[in-house]
Chain A
C-alpha cells in the first residue's frame, strides 16, 4: 500500500502540505505522548467493563499533531498490512474523523479491533521517528481506535462505498474469525457472493471466545459483523465444514473458491504429571466457558470452576487474558507462572502493565513440573522449578535452564495452562489432497496463499500457528486478492 497511490489521503495532497506547514516541527515534538484514560484498577477487577476508555476528540487531535508526516514513514513498513498511517492520522489532526476511518478501511477490515489488540509496540510504533529522539512514539494504536470508534458510533464515512453488483460467483469461507471476516469483507466488496461457515454458535471466532470483554467488547465485534451482513455476507452457524458438510458438498453447492481460516483452536498441554487433575484446564476452555458461554454470569447455564489461588502458566496475551479474567472471577491470588524472564514475555506491554495494576503476581523464571491433588482429584498444589536464563534458542530468546534442586510447592486450586495453541486438525484431516506440515498447519504458497488444492486458499492461524489478529486479517485480504485474480483474471 503506497502512501500516495490507491488512497483517499495521499501525502502530496494540498491539504496535507498545508497541514505540515501549519505547525512547526519543534512545536509538534514538544507535545508529550497522550495518556489513555483507564478505569481504575481496583474498580475494574470487579467487572468486565473495557479498561481503556478511549481518547477524547481534543486529545486525539493533539496526539495526531505530534505525527511529523515523514516523507518515508517507517510506521507503514512496521504494519503487517501497511495501513496508510500518516494518511489517517493527518485526517484526525484536521478534524476529519470520518475520513480517517475511510483511510483505515482501505486496508484494515476491522480497525476497531486492531486499534485495541495489535502489539503496536512491536509493529508500527516501534518504527516511529520519535525513538531516534529518545521520545515516546506517536500513539498510533490509540488513534486508530479513536477513528474506528468514531465511525462505529457516528456511522460516518462508509457512505462513500458504491452499491454492489453481484458478479455471480460464489465463494465459501471456513471460520468466522479475523482472517475469515476480513476475507469476506474484501470479496463481498468485489461483488462475489460470500458464505461464511462457522462451527460455533456465535460469529467472530477468537474475537468472541478468546479475547475478553474488558479488552475487546463483543459489541465492537458485532458492529463489524453486522456491517458485513448488511453488505450481503451470509453467515451459517453450527456448521462444521469437514463434518456437517464436506469439501465436495461445497462444490455441489456451487462454490468456486474456498478460504480456510479455521484457526489454531487446539490447546497445548505440557505433559507433566497431574495435568489431568480436576481444576487444571487449557486457557481455551477457561476463556470459552467465560467469554463465549457466559459462565459466572446470571442466567447462563455453563459452569466454570472457581478458585481462590489461580495459577496461569504462560507469558503471552492469552495468559494475560486468562489471569486478568481469573482476578475478575474472584481469585484472591492470581499468578502468572512463566519459565523465562519478563523481558522475554511475548504479551503486549499494555496487558502486562494492566495485569500488574490489577494485582496479578508475576512469577517469572518459574516452570511447573508437577501438580498434586486432594483425595477427590481436585488440584491443590503446583510444584514449580526455579529457572535461570541460559543460551539463546531458535526463537532468539535466551533458554530457561533449571536451577538445580530449587523446587517450590505453591497452593493452588485452579490452574490455567496457556502455553500455546496448535492448528485445529478438522479441515486438514478431512481433505486428503491438502498438504499439511508436521505442525499441522496448512501449507500455502507464500505469494498467493493458495494451498496444494487449486481452489482452496488458507490464512490466519491455520497457516501460521498461533499468531495475531492483524496477521490473520492481512492474510484474509491477501488471499482475497489472489483468489479474485484466479477467478476473474484482469485482462
Chain B
C-alpha cells in the first residue's frame, strides 16, 4: 500500500510522485489534500492531491523539497512505499460557471491549481492562467495547464522566461483590460496576500488555498488554525480554500514560522 509507481523531476527541488491509493483516488475531488509520512518515525505533513486516476487507483502528488520530511519523500524511488497516506482531507473546491476566471499559481502552487483550472474550464468558464516563479526552472506544468486555459501568462521575477515581473503584475494586466469574475490564487503565503490586496482594490472575488503547519489533519489539534473574517477556522477541516479577502495572512505567516 502507498507504493510509488512513478517519479518525475520537474526541477532539482520539485518532484512529482504517482502513488497507489485506490480508496483515496475514488473519494478525491479537486481541492482535497492528504497527510503523508515518509517513514515510521516521520512527521505528518499535508500535501495537495494534484490529480487522481480512479481507474488506476492512484493519486498524484507534487512535492517541493524544503525540509527534513519533504527531502525524505523526494528521495523515494518507484517501488518504495510511503509509511502513511491519509485522505482525502479538507473541503473540495467550489466550482461554478461565473464567466471569466483568472487562476494564478506561484511556484509549486501550480500543482494544486491544475485540477481547479481543469474543472473551471469544464464548467464553461473562460480561464486565464497566470504562472509565476522566481526563475524559468521553477515554472512547472506549463504544458499541462495550456489545454484548459484560454490564455497562459508567464511571469518570472528575473525575466528568464515569459514576462519579467511579479505575479500581481500579470493578474493586474488581465483585470485592467477585461471583466474578471473570479480569481483563484495558490502559492506562497506572501504571494497570496499581495494578490488578495490587488483584487480587493478591484473588488474581484478571490479564493486562496492555504498550506499551514499540520499534525493530524483531521481537526484534532488546532495547529492549522487561522483567522478568517475575525473567526477561528481550521485549514484541515474548513479549508484549505477560503475567501482570500477575509484571511489574516500576516497572522498565518507568523504561525508558519513557528519552527524556523
Contact = CB atoms under 8 A, between A and B. Distances in A.
A282 B225 CA distance: 11
A53 B179 CA distance: 73
B215 A293 contact: yes
Given A244-B23, A244-B27, A424-B220, A201 B37 contact: yes
Contacts of B37: 201
A276 B219 contact: no
B222 interface: yes
B250 to A, nearest CB: 9
Interface in A415-433: 424-426
Interface in B58-112: 68-69, 83-89
A426 B219 CA distance: 8
Nearest to A429: B237
Contacts of A285: 215, 221-223
B8 to A, nearest CB: 25
Nearest to B248: A276
A424 B218 contact: yes
Interface in B186-226: 215-216, 218-223, 225
- Quick one: which of A269, A276, A277, A279 has the most chain B CB within 10 A? A276
Given A244-B24, A289-B215, A425-B219, A377 B255 contact: yes
- Quick one: which of A201, A266, A267, A271 has the most chain B CB within 10 A? A201
B219 A266 contact: yes
Interface stretch (B39-47, B125-133, B166-174): B39-47
B232 interface: yes
Interface string A279-317: 101101100110001100001111101000000000000
Interface of A is mostly: loop
Nearest to B218: A199
B84 A238 contact: yes
Contacts of A438: none
- Quick one: which of B83, B87, B89, B220 has the most chain A CB within 10 A? B220
A240 B43 contact: no
Interface in A19-55: none
B150 interface: no
Nearest to A378: B258
B257 interface: yes
B215 A288 contact: yes
B254 to A, nearest CB: 4
A302 B44 contact: yes
Given A269-B232, A303-B259, A426 B27 contact: no
A413 B23 CA distance: 42
Given A238-B86, A285-B215, A300 B41 contact: yes
Contact of B225 (A276, A293, A294, A424): A276
Contact of B221 (A288, A294, A300, A426): A288
A279 B68 CA distance: 21
B41 A243 contact: no
B66 to A, nearest CB: 14
A278 interface: yes
A135 to B, nearest CB: 43
Interface residue tally on B, bucketed by range: 35 or more
Contact of A426 (B218, B223, B257): B218
B158 interface: no
A276 to B, nearest CB: 6
B43 A293 contact: yes
Contacts of B86: 199, 201, 238-240, 244
Nearest to A276: B251
B43 A302 contact: yes
- Quick one: which of B42, B218, B255 has the most chain A CB within 10 A? B218
A284 B42 CA distance: 19
A267 B222 contact: yes
A244 B44 contact: no
- Quick one: which of A200, A277, A303 has the most chain B CB within 10 A? A200
Contacts of B257: 278, 376-377
Contacts of B258: 278-279, 305
A277 B227 CA distance: 12
A244 B86 CA distance: 8
Contacts of B83: 201
A333 interface: no
Contacts of A237: 84
Interface in A371-405: 376-377
A243 B89 contact: yes
A70 B73 CA distance: 62
Contact of A239 (B23, B232, B254): B23
Contacts of A265: 216, 218-220
A238 B41 contact: no
A376 B251 CA distance: 11
A227 interface: no
A342 B85 CA distance: 44
A302 B42 CA distance: 7
A305 to B, nearest CB: 7
Given A276-B227, A278-B257, A300-B41, A240 B216 contact: no
A199 B236 CA distance: 14
Interface in A423-475: 424-426
B217 to A, nearest CB: 9
B56 to A, nearest CB: 17
B220 A278 contact: no
- Quick one: which of A199, A244, A277 has the most chain B CB within 10 A? A244
Contacts of A239: 23, 86
A171 B10 CA distance: 45
B87 A244 contact: yes
A56 interface: no
B237 A425 contact: yes
Interface string B225-259: 10100001000010000000000000100110111
A244 B251 contact: no
20 contacts: A200-B216, A201-B83, A201-B84, A201-B86, A240-B86, A243-B88, A267-B220, A267-B222, A269-B225, A278-B255, A278-B258, A281-B222, A285-B222, A294-B41, A301-B41, A302-B43, A303-B43, A376-B254, A424-B218, A426-B219
Given A265-B220, A377-B254, A426-B219, 6 more contacts: A238-B84, A243-B87, A284-B220, A302-B43, A377-B255, A424-B219
